[in-house]
Amino acid sequence: MPPLLEELASLIEEVRNDAKSAATPNELAQVKARALGGKGFLKSALSGIKDVPSEERKAYGQQLNALKNEFEEFFKRRAAEIDAAAKAEAEFFDSGLPGMRVQMGRLHPIRAAMRNIVDIFVSMGFDVFTGPEMEYEKYNFDLLNIPEYHPARDDMDTFYILPGLVLRTHTSPVQVRVMEKIKAREDVIVQMISPGRVFRRDRPDATHTPCFHQLEGLQVGRGISMANMRWILDEFARRFFGPETRTRLRPDYFPFVEPGAELAVTCSMCEGKGCRVCKETGWIEVMGCGMVHPQVLRNVNIDPDEYSGWAFGFGVERMAQVLYQVPDARMFFENDMRFLRQFS
């Protein structure tokens, strides 16, 4: 080997070793540039040819050329090897690895509670009706005996869309729509529930949200009394809250029922003994109910002297809050997966 090439020996060795340990095409390209690039050592060795004695020049040039060709072959081979290794890694399948965990969807707790409630009433022979979420004032208020001056009509409480058109504030208008269509006069002419979304201009807090779910029920027929209401609501409370649950009715006022009542269930935390959850009373109020006001029946051409009925309504969020002991109604729509995953 001519003396100048001997000087290159250590550089050649170094580049070969680095090329062997390069793991990516990018790393290899950097090593290649050190040998064959514009500022590579082969280039500078070639430019040093003028200092070589003329009789050695030819041999020197041939050797450099051979070295350059050899390097090019070598880098081509290394590139192919790196490529093949990357492919093999990508295709490698380890059947011993644990499988990927699949996230299973499940019902939102409000949807689950709603289905559960609907199933209970359907099993007792109630039909399910739904109505529009955007409702005429006539159905939302007038025909339900809610007078012109009633505070519920205030635009502080109700979302008005257009004059005479609101986002329904309760599911009761569905009762009116169903009763309006009744032609047959059987003993029990209506036995229905209507689940759905309702809207109120409430600032969200632990017990209020501007949109929530309500479920309304109605039974109208000949000789229907508060005893029918009591039995069915008792049965519902036992099936939804647990077989030990007892109920309590207390007088209350709603414009569309007379007499009106409020139903409370025994606190499941303390079994009626009194605790923090029930504010030491042993009871938790869960719904409004009562005998349908005669004027509401007259409004839909049902003779209140011949027929009577009872109705109830409650917030599904409220029911779920009591059942699952959820302290804040907002948790149901904040969609925090850590909260929602608890209900399976």
- The number of beta carbons lying within 10 Å of the beta carbon of residue 285 is 17
Q: What is d(CA 249, CA 230) in angstroms, rounded to the nearest whole number?
A: 8
Shortest gap between Cβ of 101 and Zn ion (angstroms)?
39
Q: Which string of b and e fits 314-326 if b means at least 16 CB within 10 Å?
A: bbbbbbbbbbeeb
Least spacing, CB of residue 296 vs Zn ion, in Å: 35
Task: Find out whether 320 and 113 touch, Cβ atoms under 8 Å.
Answer: yes
Q: Take residue 240 and report the two structure tokens written for it.
A: 């939804």
Measured from the CB of residue 329, what is the shortest distance to Zn ion in angstroms?
19
Judged by beta carbon, residue 165 or residue 270, the one nearer Zn ion is 270
In the complex, minimum distance from the CB of residue 229 to Zn ion, in angstroms, rounded to a whole number? 25
Tell me whether residue 274 or residue 304 sits nearer to Zn ion (CB atom): 274
**Can you tell me the distance from the alpha carbon of 312 to that of 218, in angstroms, rounded to the nearest whole number?**
7
Beta-carbon contacts of 83 under 8 Å, excluding residues fewer than 6 positions away, are 25
- Using an 8 Å Cβ cutoff, are 232 and 125 in contact? no
Q: Of 19 and 263, which has the nearer Cβ to Zn ion?
A: 263
Q: Min. distance of Cβ 270 from Zn ion in angstroms?
A: 3
Closest approach of Zn ion to the CB of residue 207, in Å: 17
Helix orientation angle between 25-36 and 3-21, rounded to the nearest 10 degrees: 170
- Distance from C-alpha of 299 to C-alpha of 256, rounded to nearest angstrom: 11
For Zn ion, which is the closer residue by CB, 152 or 277? 277
By beta-carbon proximity to Zn ion, the closer residue of 209 and 321 is 321
Instruction: Please report, as ranges, the residues that interact with Zn ion according to CB under 5 A.
Output: 267, 269-270, 275, 277-278
Measured from the CB atom, the residue of 31 and 267 that comes closer to Zn ion is: 267
Q: Which residue is nearest to Zn ion (CB)?
A: 267
The CA-based dihedral angle spanning residues 101, 103, 109, 112, taken in that order and rounded to the nearest 10 degrees:
-100
